[in-house]
Chain A
Amino acid sequence: MKNILLILFLVPLVLLGQIDRSKKPEAQTAATINIKDSEVFTLSNGLTVILSENHKLPRVSFDLVMSGTPQVEGEKAGLSDMVSSLLLNGTTNRSKDQIDSEIDFIGASLDASENSISMSCLTKHMDKGLDIMLDVLKNVNFPESEFERVKKLMASQLINTKSDPDGMASNVEFKVNFPNHPLGDIMTETSLNAITRQDLVDYYNSIFTPNKAYLVIVGDINIEKASEVTQKYFENWSGNSAIKTAIGKGAFHSGNQVYFVKKQGAVQSAIRITFPIDMRTGDTNQVALTVMNNLLGGRGFGTRLMQNLREDKAYTYGCYSNLNITENGSWASLYGNFRNEVTDSAINEILYEIQRISENPVSAEELDLTKSTMNGSFSRSLENPQTIARFALNIIRYNLDKEYYKNYLKKLERVSVANIQEMANKYFTFQNANIIVVGSEDILDNLKKFDSDGNVTILDAFGSPLEEILPADISAEDLINNYILKVTNSANLKEASKKIKKIKSVSQKAIMTNEQFPFPINMTELWVSPNKLGRKVEAQGMVFEKFYFDGKGGAINVQGKSINLTEDEISTYAKNEGLFPEANYQKNGMMTEILGIEKVNNIPCYVLKTNTGNSEKFDYFGVEGFLKIKTIEIESKDGETVESITSYSDYKEVEGLFLPHSKIISAGGMTFSGTSTFSLNGKEKIEEFMTK
């Protein structure tokens, strides 16, 4: 002890000048934000213009926002999403390419959403930019070809959703918080198909109208010029009366409700604890509630949820609480992804944290930390002129105090420890929440205890009630045999096996495309009897992947880097032998199980689960016809899971075999679809797929 004291004494505190460098400087008082007041005027067609001058840079932006209330879309859910994707894709005067190139020439940007269009550019190019913007506004024509292209694009995005636990949880969240409400409109394959080009036109005509709309101009333009250009460009734009309807605040109920979406083979559960909030934009309590939410689970490592569920319990990489306050409905969601085994414990802890913050005061230190982090990010966000534009708009649109945003930091400073508890009590709930879990069926039983009436509601990927899974009336073996008979076009298994034996090789060449991908991908697959495989993926003349298995070993080569197959992988490929590996499952001791009958795109299918060793496979065979319609494969490697979904269709005969000529592959958030050609007993060799 003596020695330590001695050392402490000996360390010199060297000072320079008048400051004590050993102390971190204290922050000064938070600044008031220096936002100029906006000018407001109205045009004869009902458009309210809000001008927020900012001459820092010679740029100007025009944001046109409609004020009509969003309508419930019901069986055409997703219509508004489609409008926003197609709004800039053509007018009666300009094709999409023309719009793009004219905008690029002046270095401008043009964007759209389901109820807004915005354009920004250098001030001196304003006239050109407005000319294009107004052409879109007055002459948008949703070209048929673009409509079809975007529809396809959206269909593939919907397929991706089914493998995206967070996307599924989000769909359910909107559905259960906001039933019969525009926020609860979730696009499905059926609703997408129901949307016609005429629906887009009708939607556009009813929502896009100057009546009660706002035009926010921000940037390097004065009131005289703003008045001049708005009269020139916007005043002669006309439209219907804006639809104004009362809109609900969501479904508040008593007792916790549990909703479950099954995700085959999931190793993690996506959890969302969510509830609507009785508040609209600009509420006097909004700032205090936001501070409470950020302290509980905003960004950063220091929040209650992160400290408890990540730092302390190590249940997850991240657990957060999101607060969404809008004029058309508000809600909170506390969410994260958790290992299967701790799903129920995680739900317990999240509910506990809501309870704790409602019943006990927070510490002054954590409140200060939250407030200063918010101060910082709020202040930094103001650099973007669009943030200022949003403020100017909100003040008028929601009738806020003129100084609302200028005083934001002061309001933030005033939030007290008592306010936090009050906010949690008033708006958050651990007893009347919707508890959404997307995950493996194995955890379902553990969820019942959280539901106030013990009934877990099971939903599909889009938050609709799941059609019941019927028990299958066939054994796994019979199912596989029927499938083999069908694809080999045989009357009995003997004939089938004879036919298969005659086939020495099958080569499949597929051209796969994705709307967002600039060029097609060529996939070549080769099977050589008895059990050799090759695969090559190339695009634009570049080989992305090469794979081979020669019956004993093999390697995968990705972008020039070759990795030999592991023992596990070799044994899996060895067990999956044959042109139709299902035929050999029994012989090779593969574990198969029939899960029941489920519908795939309205076609009833038998679901066959196979454990292949390092992956779980779910094959869907049509109840009628026994053809394979879909395969979901979930591979686990180094603690991570990779999921791929392949859909098969367009079965056609090729030299006595029935083979699918169309397929859609969805993996890693991307969906590719394409057509295949097959050739049997050709001269291709497996060596072509090896890396020299």
Chain B
Amino acid sequence: MKNIAIVFISMLSLQGFGQRKIDFIEYDLPNGIHVILHEDKTTPIVAVSVLYHVGSKNETPDRTGFAHFFEHLLFEGSTNIGRGEYSEIVERNGGALNANTSQDRTYYYEILPSNQLELGLWLESERMLHAKVDITGIETQRSVVKEEKRQRIDNRPYASFTSEIFKRMFSNHPYNWVPIGSMEHLDAAQESDYVNFYRTFYVPQNATISIAGDINVLQAKNWINQYFGSIPSGQAINLYRDYENLEDSLFEKTYGISKSKFYSEDFMNSSDPAAKKIIGNLSKKPIAIPRTEKDFSQLSGLITDTIYDNIQSPGIFMGFKFPDQNHPDSYALDMMNEVLSGGSSSRINKSLVEKMELATFAYAFNYGLEDAGAGLFAAIASQDVELSDIQIAFDEQIKQIQAELISDEEFQKIRNQYENNLVSSNSSVAGVAENLADNYVYFGNTDRVNILLDNYLKVTKEDIQRVAQKYLTLDKRVVLYYLPKQ
């Protein structure tokens, strides 16, 4: 308990605004796992989540798609959980589970009855300690992931536009590719590539556990200590994994010591002096996790291209380079997007779709990421409409929001909408667990959940105009024309 720092967050005054404070405690386990606990006894359920700070941006350019692939692979089972049993165990115990992968993170969660918290911790600790990363699982999931790509991207018209824009917008950053990655890379990868990815990124120091719901904090901490605190720290975790998986001869070759010197009944407390020394040394050596840098670069100019796709109607997709989501301007950029494209009464929908009838569908959205962001605009042309006319109409909207302050009524509407959205995003314990983890990992401030609305409500009409001028750079952007394949 000595080296566990417990941080109590002081009360923040939030007068005037409708957001309730979310209380939580957070601390680090000695092995580096960050733990966030939010007690909410309203409902006897608990959301158990683990966020691994690894996404597609941590992949190497010749092994793209790995992070997302692992999200699949890590449901295959562990030393103590049979193949395919993950979801069955959860469902049979009244729970629900899922996972997702972005450019920046991989996130796993279960929602369980509160009397099954220990089960959730066991399931997640098994995943972290010794998941099955073997050829059988790899092959099964390779075909599943390929089906997923076919269904979600290849077979869906225009669905490649994010990857096409990012490819051109991020030439010097791994946002260059998107999480689904390359099927060729997954095929070309060897079992050892997968094992190495697991050994590098699925380690305690890269994990944040976020638990929200009907918990007894003391009891939860006890279990977290047992299931996660016992996971070897630093490079010792891979020593442990090797001890479990390698043949004695190979183990000895790697570490210069026979497996027999270790004490299998309490591995970390092996009494053999040589084994003890190795465990001690490796525990202290952190794993070198490759990190990426923020991308502050600007686009050099206008990048236009034409993509031929299996589509009937032409489409236009534009991308502007935005700052990363932790940048102070990101709040004003989000509000700006709400004016342009939030709901059916928004400017883009009213003008391009309803009044001018240029597009059957037109919208804009912000793609906020850890190292950079993107402002994306998309429209599908109405019959006989030239894409250039849509581009002109988009540009007019951009010029207008740059030239004039938005109206008071519009300003009030987006503030109301934002407030409602933010409040609703914390209505479930699963949502709270995810928001807490995100805020810790991405913003280094778990308590940001409590001040987020303030940040948005501080944005002025002038801020919106200023960021529109600064970031919606008409001369520096990616413009893609999607045309039907002949």
Contacts from A to B (Cβ < 8 Å)? 12-19, 21-22, 24-34, 54-59, 101, 104-107, 122-125, 300, 302, 369, 372-377, 379-380, 382-383, 409, 538, 540-544, 559-561, 692
Interface pair B240/A560, CB less than 8 Å apart: no
Residues of A within 8 A of B380 (CB): 542
Quick one: given A380-B45, A382-B45, are A561 and B310 in contact (CB under 8 Å)? yes
Interface pair B94/A29, CB less than 8 Å apart: no
A605 → B minimal CB distance (Å) = 39
* Closest A residue by C-beta to B418: A107
Q: Is B95's CB within 8 Å of the partner chain A? A: yes
Question: Can you sample 5 A-B contacts with CB below 8 Å?
Answer: A19-B230, A27-B113, A29-B115, A380-B94, A541-B382
Interface pair A541/B385, CB less than 8 Å apart: yes
Q: What is the CA–CA distance of A125 and B343 in the complex, to the nearest angstrom? A: 19
Q: What is the CA–CA distance of A377 and B112 in the complex, to the nearest angstrom? A: 9
Interface pair B114/A15, CB less than 8 Å apart: no
Residues of A within 8 A of B121 (CB): 25
- Selected from B96, B129, B240, B264, the residue in CB contact (under 8 A) with A380 is B96
A6 → B minimal CB distance (Å) = 15
Q: What is the CA–CA distance of A57 and B19 in the complex, to the nearest angstrom? A: 7
The 0/1 profile, CB within 8 Å of A marked 1, for residues 123-151 of chain B is: 00110010000000000000000000000
Residues of B within 8 A of A17 (CB): 226, 229-230, 266, 268
A387 → B minimal CB distance (Å) = 9
Interface pair B419/A373, CB less than 8 Å apart: no
Interface pair B312/A383, CB less than 8 Å apart: no
Interface pair A379/B44, CB less than 8 Å apart: yes
Q: Is B417's CB within 8 Å of the partner chain A? A: yes
Residues of B within 8 A of A12 (CB): 243-244, 259, 264
Contacts beyond the supplied A16-B267, A379-B43: 6 A-B pairs with Cβ under 8 Å: A14-B240, A14-B244, A14-B267, A21-B122, A25-B122, A33-B44
B16 → A minimal CB distance (Å) = 9
- Selected from B116, B312, B420, the residue in CB contact (under 8 A) with A542 is B312
Residues of B within 8 A of A560 (CB): 157, 310-312, 484-485
Q: What is the CA–CA distance of A24 and B82 in the complex, to the nearest angstrom? A: 11
B191 → A minimal CB distance (Å) = 21
Q: What is the CA–CA distance of A438 and B345 in the complex, to the nearest angstrom? A: 46
Interface pair B115/A541, CB less than 8 Å apart: no
Interface pair B95/A57, CB less than 8 Å apart: no
Interface pair A27/B93, CB less than 8 Å apart: yes
Interface pair A13/B93, CB less than 8 Å apart: no
- Selected from A19, A104, A542, the residue in CB contact (under 8 A) with B343 is A104
Residues of A within 8 A of B157 (CB): 559-560
- Selected from A122, A300, A561, the residue in CB contact (under 8 A) with B419 is A122
A363 → B minimal CB distance (Å) = 15
Q: What is the CA–CA distance of A15 and B270 in the complex, to the nearest angstrom? A: 11
- Selected from A19, A106, A124, the residue in CB contact (under 8 A) with B226 is A19
Q: Is B231's CB within 8 Å of the partner chain A? A: yes
Q: What is the CA–CA distance of A538 and B259 in the complex, to the nearest angstrom? A: 70
Q: What is the CA–CA distance of A246 and B111 in the complex, to the nearest angstrom? A: 43
- Selected from A32, A105, A372, the residue in CB contact (under 8 A) with B413 is A105
Interface pair B310/A15, CB less than 8 Å apart: no
Interface pair A373/B20, CB less than 8 Å apart: no
Q: What is the CA–CA distance of A375 and B214 in the complex, to the nearest angstrom? A: 14
Q: What is the CA–CA distance of A27 and B121 in the complex, to the nearest angstrom? A: 12
Residues of B within 8 A of A383 (CB): 42-43, 45, 427-429
Interface pair A541/B383, CB less than 8 Å apart: yes
Q: What is the CA–CA distance of A125 and B118 in the complex, to the nearest angstrom? A: 41
- A28, A29, A125 interface centre (most CB from chain B within 10 Å): A28
Q: What is the CA–CA distance of A692 and B312 in the complex, to the nearest angstrom? A: 12
Q: What is the CA–CA distance of A54 and B420 in the complex, to the nearest angstrom? A: 17
Q: What is the CA–CA distance of A541 and B116 in the complex, to the nearest angstrom? A: 54
Quick one: given A19-B227, A372-B94, are A124 and B268 in contact (CB under 8 Å)? no
Q: What is the CA–CA distance of A529 and B421 in the complex, to the nearest angstrom? A: 60
Quick one: given A58-B423, A376-B112, are A31 and B80 in contact (CB under 8 Å)? no
Q: What is the CA–CA distance of A15 and B89 in the complex, to the nearest angstrom? A: 22
* Closest B residue by C-beta to A371: B94
Interface pair A21/B126, CB less than 8 Å apart: yes
Which 10 interchain pairs have the tightest Cβ spacing? A376-B94, A541-B383, A107-B420, A17-B230, A58-B18, A31-B44, A25-B118, A28-B115, A541-B382, A16-B230
Interface pair B310/A540, CB less than 8 Å apart: no
* Closest B residue by C-beta to A56: B42
Quick one: given A122-B423, A382-B45, A559-B157, are A105 and B115 in contact (CB under 8 Å)? no
Residues of B within 8 A of A544 (CB): 312
- Selected from A13, A28, A369, A379, the residue in CB contact (under 8 A) with B45 is A379
Q: What is the CA–CA distance of A106 and B40 in the complex, to the nearest angstrom? A: 28
Interface pair B384/A541, CB less than 8 Å apart: yes
Interface pair B119/A16, CB less than 8 Å apart: no
Q: What is the CA–CA distance of A32 and B41 in the complex, to the nearest angstrom? A: 10
Q: Chain B contact residues (Cβ within 8 angstroms of A): what range?
A: 35 or more
Residues of A within 8 A of B267 (CB): 14-16
Residues of A within 8 A of B89 (CB): 24
Interface pair B416/A107, CB less than 8 Å apart: yes
Residues of A within 8 A of B113 (CB): 27, 30-31, 372, 375-376, 379-380
The 0/1 profile, CB within 8 Å of A marked 1, for residues 259-301 of chain B is: 1000011111000000000000000000000000000000000
Q: Is B426's CB within 8 Å of the partner chain A? A: yes
B298 → A minimal CB distance (Å) = 36
Residues of B within 8 A of A54 (CB): 42
Interface pair A57/B268, CB less than 8 Å apart: no
Q: Is B232's CB within 8 Å of the partner chain A? A: yes
Q: Is B15's CB within 8 Å of the partner chain A? A: no
Residues of A within 8 A of B313 (CB): 541-542
Residues of B within 8 A of A105 (CB): 413, 416
- Selected from B18, B44, B268, B311, the residue in CB contact (under 8 A) with A30 is B44
* Closest A residue by C-beta to B226: A19
- A16, A21, A22, A34 interface centre (most CB from chain B within 10 Å): A16
Residues of A within 8 A of B2 (CB): none
Q: Is B162's CB within 8 Å of the partner chain A? A: no
Residues of B within 8 A of A409 (CB): 44
Q: Is B326's CB within 8 Å of the partner chain A? A: no
- Selected from B19, B264, B345, the residue in CB contact (under 8 A) with A101 is B345
Residues of B within 8 A of A559 (CB): 157, 311-312
Q: What is the CA–CA distance of A369 and B92 in the complex, to the nearest angstrom? A: 7
Residues of A within 8 A of B420 (CB): 107, 122
- Selected from B117, B384, B423, the residue in CB contact (under 8 A) with A59 is B423
* Closest B residue by C-beta to A31: B44
Interface pair A376/B40, CB less than 8 Å apart: no
Interface pair B43/A124, CB less than 8 Å apart: no
- Selected from B18, B264, B265, B427, the residue in CB contact (under 8 A) with A124 is B18
Interface pair B94/A25, CB less than 8 Å apart: no
Interface pair B94/A373, CB less than 8 Å apart: yes
Q: What is the CA–CA distance of A22 and B268 in the complex, to the nearest angstrom? A: 17
Q: What is the CA–CA distance of A18 and B268 in the complex, to the nearest angstrom? A: 11
The 0/1 profile, CB within 8 Å of A marked 1, for residues 327-357 of chain B is: 0000000000000000101000000000000
- Selected from B40, B115, B268, B426, the residue in CB contact (under 8 A) with A27 is B115
Q: What is the CA–CA distance of A178 and B117 in the complex, to the nearest angstrom? A: 45
Quick one: given A104-B343, A379-B113, A560-B311, are A14 and B264 in contact (CB under 8 Å)? yes
List B residues 379-429 near A (Cβ within 8 Å).
Answer: 380-385, 413, 416-417, 419-421, 423-424, 426-429
Q: Is B79's CB within 8 Å of the partner chain A? A: yes
The 0/1 profile, CB within 8 Å of A marked 1, for residues 85-116 of chain B is: 00001011111100000000000000111111
Interface pair A692/B360, CB less than 8 Å apart: no
Quick one: given A21-B79, A104-B345, A541-B383, are A57 and B265 in contact (CB under 8 Å)? no
* Closest B residue by C-beta to A545: B312
Q: Is B10's CB within 8 Å of the partner chain A? A: no
Residues of B within 8 A of A374 (CB): 94
The 0/1 profile, CB within 8 Å of A marked 1, for residues 16-49 of chain B is: 0011100000000000000000001111110000
Residues of A within 8 A of B229 (CB): 17
Q: What is the CA–CA distance of A14 and B385 in the complex, to the nearest angstrom? A: 68
List B residues 238-254 near A (Cβ within 8 Å).
Answer: 240, 243-244
